[in-house]
Amino acid sequence: MRKKIYLLLIAPLMGALYVNAQVPGANVDIKHYRFAITLNDANNSIDGQATITAKFVKPATILTLDLFKKNKDGKGMLVIAVKENSLPVKFKQDSDKLILNTKAAKGTIHKYNVTYAGVPADGLIISTNQYKHRTFFGDNWAIRARYWLPCIDNPADKASVEFLVTAPAKYKVVANGLKVLEKNVPPNQKLTHWSETAQLPTKVMVIGVAEFATDSPGNPGGTPVYSYVFHEDKAEGLKNYSVATKILPWFVKRIGAFPYKKLANVQSKTIFGGMENAGAIFYYERSVNDSQGIEPLMAHEIAHQWFGDAISEKSWWHVWLSEGFATYMTNLYMEGTYGVDTLKSRLAADRDLIFGFEKKYNAPVVDSAYKGEMIGMLNANAYQKGGWVLHMLRRKIGDDAFWKGVQAYYKQYNGSNAHTDDLRVIMEKVSGINLKPFFTQWLREAGHPQLKFTWNYNDADKTLAVHITQLQAKPYQLEVEFTVDGKLYRSDISGSSTTITVPAASVTPRIKIDPDVNLLATFDTVNKP
């Protein structure tokens, strides 16, 4: 997702054929969810009927689902009944778990029906939009689906999903997948059924319900693109959202086929600037009015459809595989559309954010020691530094190998999960380079290189000796670039101190360090040693 500005600066102090995607060590792999949800305008209570298809990978006597129980404030879900094959199943609820008593052998598939009701404490946001009209929007990241859906609320357990939404007839409903049914039902209601056959993590399973104006601006590559905006924003919103038809084919050409059968872009009520719900992206309300900012925002969220949705991180420590990819793919789209100077300026701005964040919280990108709130993981390490690592990887192995690696990564892990080493192994195969040192120093260690450049001129042989000192405690293995009188020089360095001698025409040569913005480092330059 794309964070709003105030989130950006938060420090983390606070008989079918199924793809296997499950929580490591779990006794069950959820294969399919079918959620029937009834909404109303009289109050914020919802009625739910969940049908959960589960394959047991180990013998089990219980199935534990995530579901937030009704609390003392009256918010939460109360389970009324659980059945399997029309027979009652014993269960109990604690504060955030629903525990079913069941007897399941390894390899068996069971289907449970859970009837429940309540007022969502979170996850499904029932409120009014900026025009005071009532709206209902799922907002599940990171583990907030449990506030309104009985599920395994973990990105490592992926499943196909259906939503059957019954709501007052004035509303339009959008969700993951394709619309398979829309019909009026008494009294003055409408049933809308959406079905997604791809494997999704719960973080991107959603519904959006509002009085929408809709449009279909195009069908690039056979993928229908839709826009959903509030009626008051119809003219400007539908025009600005149509840029998605330009962004989508750019990514398809370079990454691979779009993972889903439609792409809807939806004006919504979300705590994020954009949220990458699979095939149904939600954007903040005023996004429709941002004719300049909507393009990179949409590029970020559309890139997530491949990275974060189709390929999901195995654990939250590896969230950079979602946010770093979306950040860098946005930068690459902007470079491809508006030129290399756009990429340079975006990378330079991202570099400043990384170093500013590092002063508040110095940790590696793959931050296995982090124990704070989930929202704290959405930081400059995951977004901007993750994106920068991909940029340096691209420069290290070359464009051809980089894109071959991206395509191979998507092909292998589409519909399942990956972690950082999975990406590394694929990039090593396509490039023929041992990338473990690169991945270790940039992703699993905190900090960045601090480089001091000094130089002196030898008039006798017309040469310039450029001295590079790594000021941080542990030297990096890296490539530095600089120009002397417009000529580019590159050098691999690994020690604390390196000297490079190059020709120079005068005692006052024109020197520029990292001219193409290719190294995540700070640079201190002094004319003489």
For 124-149, the pLDDT digits (tens) are 999 999 999 999 999 999 999 999 99
Q: What is the pLDDT of residue 33?
A: 98
- Mean pLDDT score of the chain: 94
Q: What is the mean pLDDT of residues 98-108?
A: 97
pLDDT band, residue 87 (cuts 50/70/90):
very high
pTM assigned to the model: 0.94
Percent of the chain with pLDDT over 70: 95
Q: What is the pLDDT of residue 12?
A: 29
**The pairing of beta strand 450-458 with beta strand 522-526:** parallel
For 502-516, the pLDDT digits (tens) are 999 999 999 999 999
pLDDT band, residue 91 (cuts 50/70/90):
very high
Residue 220: DSSP 8-state: G
Is residue 160 pLDDT above 70, yes or no? Answer: yes
User: 450-526, which class in CATH?
Assistant: mainly beta
Strand 189-200: give its sheet, edge to edge.
87-88, 76-84, 109-119, 46-56, 28-38, 159-168, 189-200, 178-185
Q: What is the pLDDT of residue 21?
A: 61
**What is the distance between the alpha carbons of residues 460 and 70, in angstroms, rounded to a whole number?**
83
The tokens for 14 are 């606070």
Architecture of the CATH domain 20-304:
Sandwich (2.60)
Stretch(es) of the chain classified as CATH 2.60.40.1730: 20-304
Stretch(es) of the chain classified as CATH 2.60.40.1840: 450-526
Phi-psi region of 185 (alpha: psi -120 to 50; beta: other; left: phi over 0): beta
Q: Give the count of beta carbons closer than 10 Å to the beta carbon of residue 474.
A: 10
What residues contact residue 432 under an 8 Å CB cut-off, 6+ apart?
none
For 463-484, the pLDDT digits (tens) are 999 999 999 999 999 999 999 9
Stretch(es) of the chain classified as CATH 1.10.390.10: 312-443
Q: What is the mean pLDDT of residues 317-322?
A: 97
For 336-387, the pLDDT digits (tens) are 999 999 999 999 999 999 999 999 999 999 999 998 888 999 999 999 999 9
CB 467 within 8 A of CB 499: yes
Q: What is the mean pLDDT of residues 305-327?
A: 97
The enclosing H or E element of 267 equals strand 263-267
Architecture of the CATH domain 312-443:
Orthogonal Bundle (1.10)
For 16-60, the pLDDT digits (tens) are 333 456 566 789 999 999 999 999 999 999 999 999 999 999 999
3-state secondary structure 492-520: EECCCEEEEEEECCCCCCCEEECCCCCCC
Phi-psi region of 177 (alpha: psi -120 to 50; beta: other; left: phi over 0): left
Is residue 265 pLDDT above 70, yes or no? Answer: yes
